[in-house]
Amino acid sequence: MIRIRGLTKRYGTVLAVDDLSFDVEPGAVTGFLGPNGAGKSTTMRMVLGLDRPTAGEALVDGRPFATLAEPLRRVGALLDPGALHPGRTGRSHLLVAARTSGIPLRRVEEVLDEVGLGGAARRRVKGYSLGMRQRLGIAAALLGDPRVLLFDEPVNGLDLDGVRWIRGLLRRLADEGRTVLVSSHLLGEVQQIADRLVVIGRGRLIADATTEEILGGLGRPQVRVRGARADDLAAALRRPGLTVAPGGDGDLLVEGATAEEVGALAHAADVPLWHLSDVRPSLEQAYLELTGVATEFVTTAPAPVRTAEPAR
C-alpha cells in the first residue's frame, strides 16, 4: 500500500506538489492522471525517495522508501526508460540490479522472457528501440517480485501487441493482490484497466474515486439507436423524461433510458431496429471536465494561414 499525506514539494518559487493526500490500495489498478506539469512524476519520485518532500510524507507499507531493507523486493518502478547505460546489454543491466539487491539470478531470465526480450537480451541497450527500452524497464520493475509497483507512462513506444500485453500484465498484478499505480496520458487505456482514479492538477488533488464513480458524474445514461423508419422511431421515443437528439449517420441519441427500455418502445411502435447500444461514458470527457481549470499549459488555435494573392 502507498499512503501519501500532506505531500508538498517546492523547487525554488515553483510549487510542484501542494498538500497532496491519497492512498493506493492493494488489489487494484489505480490510474494517476493530470495535465502536464501537474506533479505526477514528482509525486512518484518522492514515493521512491528520489526527491525529498518539502513537507508531508509518502509511505510504502507504512515506511519511507529509504528505510526499506530490501527495496527492490518491496517496490518496483518504471519512471524513465531512457535512464539505462547504453553500453550494457539488456541482460547485464538486470544482472547488476539482481546482484546488488540479493535477488536470485534466475529471476533475470524469468523477467526477460516475461517481457518478451529473451531474444534481444544480449544486445546492447543503445541499439534498443523505445518500446524495447520500455520492456526492459518493466523487467527491472518486476525483478524483485515486489508487492508495490509504480509505472509512469508504461505504454509509450509500445506497438499494438505491446499495449495489449501491458494491459493484461497490469490487470494480473492487481488481481494477485499487488498495489499498482499507473500514470498515463492515454485515457482510453486507463479507462480499460483502472479500478480507481486519482486526478491532480497544479499539484493539488482534484478527484479520488473509483472509475465508475467518476464516469457516473457525466449525467444521465445515453442510448444510440437506429431503426428502419427514423421518423416513427423518434415519435415513439418522445416520452416524458426522455431527450431525443440526432446522433449522426441516421442514429438517434436517447438520454434518460436504458437500451432495454428504448428497445421496448421501438417494439411497441412496430419499428424494426438496426442498431441499439448503450453509450459508454468517456474518461476523456470526464477528465477534461475535472481538469479544465487546472491545466497549466494551454494552447490556442493557430491563426489561419494567409496565402499570397496572385499577381495581376
**Domains, the chain, ordered by start:** 2-216 (3.40.50.300), 219-278 (3.30.70)
Per the structure block, which three cell numbers stand in for 255? 438520454
Which of residues 221 and 23 earns the better pLDDT score? 23
pLDDT for 301 beyond 60: no
pLDDT at position 135 is 95
Q: Tell me the per-residue pLDDT of 2-56, one tens digit each, with 9 for 90 and over.
A: 999 999 999 999 999 999 999 999 999 999 999 999 999 999 999 999 999 999 9
10: nearest Cα among 47, 49, 56, 48 = 56
**CA 35 – CA 290 distance, rounded (Å):** 11
**CA 90 – CA 106 distance, rounded (Å):** 15
What are the residues whose beta carbons fall under 8 Å from the beta carbon of 295, sequence distance 6 or more? 35, 201
Cross-strand pairs, 299? none
Name the least confident of 38-47, 71-80, 167-176, 303-312. 303-312
pLDDT at position 42 is 97
pLDDT at position 254 is 92
**CA 23 – CA 30 distance, rounded (Å):** 10
The burial of 93, by beta-carbon neighbours within 10 Å (0-12 exposed, 13-18 middle, 19 or more buried), is given as buried
Q: Tell me the per-residue pLDDT of 99-137, one tens digit each, with 9 for 90 and over.
A: 999 999 999 999 999 999 999 999 999 999 999 999 999
**Averaged over 293-309, what is the pLDDT?**
53
Residue type, 265: L
pLDDT for 312 beyond 80: no
pLDDT at position 250 is 87
Computed over its alpha carbons, how large is the radius of gyration of the chain?
25
Name the least confident of 22-26, 152-156, 212-216, 297-301. 297-301
**CA 143 – CA 91 distance, rounded (Å):** 12
Name the least confident of 60-74, 97-111, 209-223, 256-270. 209-223
pLDDT at position 169 is 97
pLDDT at position 82 is 77
Q: With 0.85 as the threshold, say if the pTM is over it.
A: no
pLDDT for 297 beyond 80: no
Please report which confidence band the pLDDT of residue 218 belongs to, taking 50, 70 and 90 as the band edges: low
